Amino acid sequence: MITTTRYNLRAMTEADILQVAAIEHESFPTTWPQTAYRRELANHLARYLVVVDRSHPPILDADQPARHTFLGIFKRKNPAAPTTDYIVGYVGVWLMVDQAHVVAIAVREAYRGLGLGEMLLSEAVDLAIENRQDSVTLEVRRSNLLAQRLYEKYRFLKVGVRKRYYSDNHEDAIIMTTPPIQDDIYAEHMTYLRDAWQARWGA
């Protein structure tokens, strides 16, 4: 696991939904319908992680995104009180029969370029390894070359295309998949990448 003094990575809870939904809306404004996070948290196949900025002052209720802004995520009369942590990114992973699928990864715009997307991706791969998955797969927009370079750094390979996958502009999705992640060679590569991340961002 990657560690840092400023950022804490932990499992997502119901109390985080408002902020995670706000990050989703900022990062993927054309996504509709919005992710049903309450259902995702109850899904035994799904794992969601969030990154918290420990240096940020606690978030008061008045500073939280409005509940009515995100339709459908607070249908219950008494949802959990929103967290006071300041969440700056999240990743969602589905653990299938033998392959983990990264369903979403996003970082607040103000926190991009600080290695947090890589931190989340690294943890998603570690999660798959710990749960005895054979590989990790995801989809990425054909035009998102920056994300593709990050995935390639973790040895994701382009293995297919989903034509006109994205509903907003009918852009193709590139399917990317890792080689076997249980192999010692891949484990050595992950150790190298974690050490490189720590050397650059860990302080």
Under the banding of pLDDT at 50, 70 and 90, the label for residue 30 is: confident
Q: In the chain, pLDDT over 70 holds for what percent of residues? A: 91
Q: Which residue has the higher pLDDT, 51 or 66?
A: 51
Q: How far is it, in rounded angstroms, from Cα 171 to Cα 183?
A: 34
pLDDT at 15: 95
Domain count for the chain, please give it. 1
86 is catalytic: no
pLDDT at 134: 98
Strand partners, 87: 52
188 is catalytic: no
Q: Which among 48, 86, 151, 186 is annotated as catalytic?
A: 151
Q: What is the CATH number of the domain that holds 91?
A: 3.40.630.30
SS3 category, 142: coil
The domain containing residue 166 runs over which residues? 7-201
Contacts of 132 (CB under 8 A, 6+ apart): 182
Q: How far is it, in rounded angstroms, from Cα 90 to Cα 10?
A: 10
pTM of the model: 0.91
Task: Flag whether 94 is in a domain.
Answer: yes
Under the banding of pLDDT at 50, 70 and 90, the label for residue 95 is: very high
Task: Flag whether 37 is in a domain.
Answer: yes
Q: Which among 139, 165, 166, 171 is annotated as catalytic?
A: 139
